[in-house]
Amino acid sequence: MAAAPAAGFVAAGAMFDAALAQVLDAIAVPVFIQDGQHRWCFLNQACGGLMGDAPERLVGQTPSDRFEPAVARTFAAGVKGALAGDRAHEYQVTLPDAAGKQNVVIAKASPLQAPSGEPLVLTTLQNITTQRQVSQTLKRQSERERLLGAIAQHLLQSMNPEELLQTTVNEVRRFLKIDWALFYSFDPDYQGVVAESVKGQSSAMARPGSDMLSFIPTDLTRYRQGEMLMIDDISTANLPPPYRAQLHQAQVQACLIIPIVQGEALYGLVCALNQRQPRPWHPWEVETLQEVATQVGSAIKQARLYSQVQQLNSDLEQQVTQRTQQLQTALDFEATLKRITDRVRDSLDVNQIMQTAVKELTAALTAKGSNAALYDLEQGTSTIYYEYNSSGPAYQGRVSHMEAFPEVYDQLLNGQYFQFCSMEPNPDRGHVAMFACPILDDRGVLGDLWLINGRDHGFRDIEIRLVQQVANQCAIAIRQARLYQAAQSQVEELERLNTLKDDFLSTVSHELRTPVTSMKVALQLLGVTLSQEFDLSADQDKPKAEQSRISRYFHILQEECEREISLINDLLDLQRLDVGNHPLRTEPIPLKQWLPPWADSFVTRAKSRDQTLELIMAPSLPVIHTDMASLERVLAELLNNACKYTPPGERITLDVASIANQGSSLMQFTLTNTGISIPPEEQRRIFDKFYRVPSADPWKQGGTGLGLALVKKLVQYLGGDIGVTSGDRSTCFTVTLPTQTALPL
C-alpha cells in the first residue's frame, strides 16, 4: 500500500515521491519545493513555522501571494537561477514571521526533477537572524571602541583643545553615520561653534554657524544639570516655536545633544544632527556619546590646566630670557668697564685714556655721541677736552661758564647725575635726549661726562651705572695725571676689588659646602642611631612597613646630600679652573699597574646594568707625569656618563694607547659606548656649562650639565685636548694628554 502524502505536499504534474516528502517534513531545516510557475508544491513543518503559517495553506501559492514585491522578486530570481544552472543558487532574503518579526534568511535553491519529468526547485532556508544580531552588536562594540580609542590616541599625541574637539566631532559623525556633528562652546573666549564636521561638505546643506544655534536659558539650566536633549523627529517634537524655527532653518530632522559638564562648569555641547531624514537614537548610541562627552570633558579640563602650566612656563621663560639679557648686558658693560680700567692701569697718557673711554662708552650704549669736560673751579668754567661723535658737529674745546647754566652745573657740582630731553631743538643736533654724570672722586668734582641719544631714548639704570663707573675711571685717570702716586693707590684698590669679585663665587660655594658637609655628618650619625634603634626594637615587633619607610627616607636624604655636595664641588672646581686657581700636583703614574684596579668598580657597575665594560691597553705604555686627581676625575666623569646613557645589552670600551706627535709622545684615552648617538648639531654644545642634549636621557637619571664642561676644563688644564664623534648608534670621546704635564705659570 502506498504511503500517504505528507502534509503540505501536492503533486506537480504527476505523483511526487511521497517517501521523500515524509523525510523532508521530518527534518528541522526549513525546506520548500517550487515548480516552474514559482508555486509551492511542498513545505515542511519547519518552513511553515518560519513563514508564520501552516504548510498546507501555503501549498499552491506563490511568494507574490504572501510577501512584498521585493521579497517575491528575490524568490523568483532564486528559482530562475537554480533552473538556469546545474548547481545550487544561493541568495539572502528577509521574511516576517507570524509576530511580525523580521528574520534574515539564507536561501539555497537547487534544481530537482519530478517523476513526470517536470523541472522543480528544492530550496533550503537558514535563519541567520541571531547571528546577524550578534554580528551587529560586535560591530557596534568595535565601532564604539574605535571611536573612544581614536579620541584617546589623540589625547596622547596633542594637548590642543581645538584639535581634540575637531577629532571628536569627526569621529562622532562617522560613528553615528549622521550628516552633522559639532561642538558648541560656552567658553567666553571661544563661544559658539568651535568644531564642526559635515558629511560631504555639501554646499546644498545649511551649515550651522556660531549664531545658528542659540540655546534658550531653560535649556542651559538643564544642560548644566547634565541632562541631554534627544529628538528623533523635529516635526513631532514638543519644542518652543523659535527653537523649532531655527532647527527647520538649519534643515535638521533629528538631533541628539549631550552636555559636557565638569563640576559646576558647562564647557559646551556635543551635537549630533541629521538633516536628510528623522532617525531614532538607539540606547547604545546615546551611552557611547555620553561616554565620549565625559572623556572630552576630562580632556578639556586637563588641556586647560596644561595651557595654564604652559603659560606659566612661558612667563617664566620670558623672565629667564629677560634676566639672561640683563646679565649679558651686564657682562658686556663689565667687559667695557674692564677694558677702560685696563687702559687706566696700563697708561699714564690722559688724552689717550680719556678718548678711548669716551669711544668705548659711546659704542657700548649705541649712543649718537659723548664727550667729557674738565672743570676749573676757580674760573667757574667747563671745557670739553674729549669727544666722540658718530655724526653731528664737533664741540671739542668749547668752554662754558657755569654761572650761565645754574640748573645744570648746580646738580653736577653736588655730585648728582640727571637726564633730560631738550624742549627746543638744538640748532645742530635737533631734539635729543641727554644724560650728564659728574666725574668726581673723594676730593670733589673734576668734570662731567655727557651722553647724547635720540629724543625718545631713556637711559636705563644699568646704563647709568656703567656711565657712573666709567666716570669714576675717568676721575682715576685725571688724578693719575695730576698726582701719580695717589692714582697708583686707587688702581691697587680697584685690583683688590676685582680680585674680590673673582673670589665671590668661590666664597659663596665654600659657604654652601660647609652646611651641606655638616648635614652629611649628621646623616651618618643619624644612620648609626637608626641602625641601633632597629636592632634594639627587633624584639618589640616594630612594624616592618615603618622600618622600610624610615630606611627609604634616610637613603633619599643621603643621596640628595651627596648630589648637593657633588654639584657644589663641580661649581668650585669650575670656578677655580676659570680663574686659574686649580691646584695641580704632577706625579709619575704607571698606567699598566694603576688603571686596571681603578676601573674595577666601573666594570662591576656596568655588569649590574647589563652592560659590558672592557679595558684595552697597549702592550707598552710609558709612565705619564700628570695630576692623578684630575686624571681620575676626567676618566670617572666619562665612564659615569657612559654607564648612565648606554642601554642594557650594549658595550663600553676604554682604549689606552701611546701616540707620537711631532717628535713628542702623547697618551690617548678613547672611550666608546654603543647603543646611543649624539646628533651632529648637539656635539658642539655638549661641553657647555649646564647644557644637556634634549631627549638623551630616556631613563630620567638627571644631571646638572656640568660634568663634561668640567672634563674639558680639566683636560685643558692638564695641557691636553678632548673631542667627540658620534653616529650609527655609537659615541666616542677621545682625550689626548702629554706624557709630561707642564706646571701652569
Domain contains 5: no
Tens of pLDDT along 387-403? 887 666 677 788 889 89
**pLDDT bucket at 536, cuts 50 / 70 / 90:** very low
- Percent of the chain at pLDDT > 70 equals 78
Boundary-marking domain end, from 127, 149, 165? 127
Domain contains 241: yes
Q: How many domains does the chain have?
A: 5
- pTM of full prediction above 0.75: no
Residue 426 has pLDDT above 70, yes or no: no
CB 359 within 8 A of CB 365: no
Tens of pLDDT along 429-472? 677 888 899 988 888 888 888 888 887 788 888 888 888 888 88
Boundary-marking domain end, from 432, 455, 482? 482
Q: Are residues 611 and 661 in the same domain?
A: yes
Tens of pLDDT along 685-742? 888 876 676 655 554 455 566 778 888 888 988 889 999 998 888 999 999 999 887 6
Q: Which of 139-148, 356-365, 635-644, 714-723 has the lowest mean pLDDT?
A: 139-148
Cα 554 from Cα 552, distance rounded (Å): 5
CA atoms within 13 A on the CB side of 604: 6
Q: Are residues 634 and 686 in the same domain?
A: yes
Q: Are residues 374 and 476 in the same domain?
A: yes
pLDDT for res 703: 58
Q: Are residues 162 and 297 in the same domain?
A: yes
Q: Are residues 515 and 628 in the same domain?
A: no
pLDDT for res 90: 86
Residue 127, burial from CB neighbour count under 10 angstroms (0-12, 13-18, 19+):
middle
Q: Are residues 558 and 445 in the same domain?
A: no
Closest CA to 336 of 354, 359, 355: 359
Quote the domain boundaries for residue 674: 586-738
Cα 92 from Cα 76, distance rounded (Å): 12
pLDDT for res 737: 92
Domain contains 27: yes
Residue 262 has pLDDT above 50, yes or no: yes
Tens of pLDDT along 561-600? 766 777 677 776 766 676 666 777 889 999 999 999 998 8
Domain contains 453: yes
Q: Are residues 301 and 414 in the same domain?
A: no
Cα three-residue angle 568-574-577, rounded to 5 degrees: 140
Q: Which CATH number do you get for residue 609?
A: 3.30.565.10
pLDDT for res 652: 93
Q: Are residues 176 and 296 in the same domain?
A: yes
Domain contains 744: no
pLDDT for res 654: 93
Cα 527 from Cα 614, distance rounded (Å): 36
Q: Is the dihedral of CA 175, 179, 184, 189 positive or negative?
A: positive
Q: Are residues 123 and 143 in the same domain?
A: no
Domain contains 492: no
Q: Are residues 662 and 549 in the same domain?
A: no
**pLDDT bucket at 15, cuts 50 / 70 / 90:** very low
- Determine which helix (DSSP H) or strand (DSSP E) holds 446, and give its type and residue range: strand 444-454
Beta bridge partners of 664: 661
Boundary-marking domain end, from 560, 579, 598? 579
**pLDDT bucket at 186, cuts 50 / 70 / 90:** confident
Q: Which CATH number do you get for residue 32?
A: 3.30.450.20
Tens of pLDDT along 138-184? 676 777 677 667 666 666 566 677 777 888 888 888 888 888 888 88
Maximum CA extent, the chain: 161
Q: Are residues 391 and 436 in the same domain?
A: yes
Q: Is the dihedral of CA 694, 697, 701, 707 positive or negative?
A: negative
Q: Which CATH number do you get for residue 208?
A: 3.30.450.40
Q: Are residues 465 and 549 in the same domain?
A: no
Cα 655 from Cα 672, distance rounded (Å): 8
Domain contains 631: yes
Domain contains 656: yes
